[in-house]
Amino acid sequence: MEKVVIIGTGCAGLTAAIYTARANLTPLVLTGVMPGGLLTTTSTVENFPGFPEGIDGYELMTRMQAQAERFGARVQFASVESVHLDEKPIRLVIDGQSITTQTLIIATGAGHRHLDVPGEHELEKKGVTYCATCDGALPPFRNQPLVVVGGGDSACEEATYLTRFASKVYLVHRRDSLRASRIMAERTLANPKIEPVWDSVVTEVLDVAAGKVTGVRLRNLKTGTESVLPCAGLFVAVGHVPNTQLFKGVLDMDENGYLRPTEGTAMNVPGVFTAGDCADHVYRQAITAAGMGCSAAIDAERHLAGLQQ
């Protein structure tokens, strides 16, 4: 039986791994389908303390994993199929095999939100993408007009990054001001290759029949006017949805699916703790996820100490 199993290897999961490993609890850390989490898909992280020149997101996560492994964490590439929180010890089924654990730290993060408009799903990976740093440099996008949807930090970051490759980047946002932090918003709007398209939403991605993105249909929410904006790629950056489907009906969560701890990081099932974006719809920063991961590790450690008394 394991003492600690951690689901997720983003900032929250790996920080929990560093702390529980240093407490000699040899945590088993399960990567899920995206080892390193969403930060691996970002470019330079400029706001993680300790890196005044910034650090590549992938490198930051690789370093965190190495730090956890140095103290005895075991990182396993695996997806959790089911979790049986009503059993004691807690049982998880991973790639067809059962494992049991005294404590569980859920740090499953969040995935990209979709627009849910016609053509989006059909043209995914054929010009529709959710990650500029992953796909922006691909040949179909070079020297072509591209569209980014969203008004947050992610959309600004994606739009700015894409200016390296695109002939022009249209930033389509449903309001007339950006949600992004001031520094990101100002940098984005000052970029001569980026043109904002305010008060507008994408209603359809064209052209499914052609098997590639040739444009997007837009609707201006203030005037109701419809138009077609030709482009070779659509980069969707409209936020995230928490990866908590496994725990529906068992663990407390809000109406959007974010886990809701009862006290500190402790969930409503004893021995279960949570950290990071799966439980935080407010701050959602690398450093806040890391901080929650630390708290969850300390809470799990105290819970284990309590079991021994």
Identity of the residue numbered 191 = N
Closest separation in Å from C-beta 166 to ligand NAP = 19
Smallest separation, CB 209 to ligand NAP (Å)? 24
Q: In what order do the strands lie in the sheet with 215-220?
A: 200-206, 215-220, 226-230
The one catalytic residue in 56, 86, 134, 231 is: 134
Residue among 11, 86, 135, 294 flagged as catalytic? 135
Residue nearest to ligand NAP (CB): 152
Residues 6+ apart with CB under 8 A from 82: 92, 93, 246
| Residue 123: closest CA among 132, 134, 136, 114 | 114
Q: Least distance in Å: CB of 22 to ligand NAP?
A: 28
Read off the tokens for 43: 């470019």
Using the minimum distance from each CB to ligand NAP, give the nearer residue, 73 or 172.
172
Q: How far is the CB of 42 from ligand NAP (least distance, A)?
A: 6
- Omega into 89 within 30° of 0, i.e. cis? yes
Which 3 state secondary structure label does DSSP give 37? coil
- Catalytic one of 131, 156, 231, 294: 131
The least CB distance from residue 111 to ligand NAP, in Å, is: 11
| 159 Cβ neighbours under 8 A, 6+ residues apart | 132, 148, 169, 171, 188, 191, 194, 235
Which of 201, 209, 140, 139 has the alpha carbon at shortest distance from 170?
201
Q: Which residues of 159-185 are buried (b: 16+ CB within 10 A; e: fewer)?
A: bbbbbebbebbbbbbeeeebbbeeebb
User: Does 252 participate in catalysis according to the annotation?
Assistant: no
Nearer residue to ligand NAP within complex by CB, 104 or 149? 149
Residues near ligand NAP (CB under 6 A): 47, 113, 115, 149-155, 157, 174-175, 179, 201, 237-240, 284
- For the question of residue 131 being annotated catalytic, the response is yes
In angstroms, give the least distance from the CB of 55 to ligand NAP. 12
Q: Is 135 a catalytic residue?
A: yes
Residue 247 phi/psi, 5-degree rounding, is: -110, 5
Tokens 């419809």, located at residue: 226
Catalytic site residues?
A: 131, 134-135
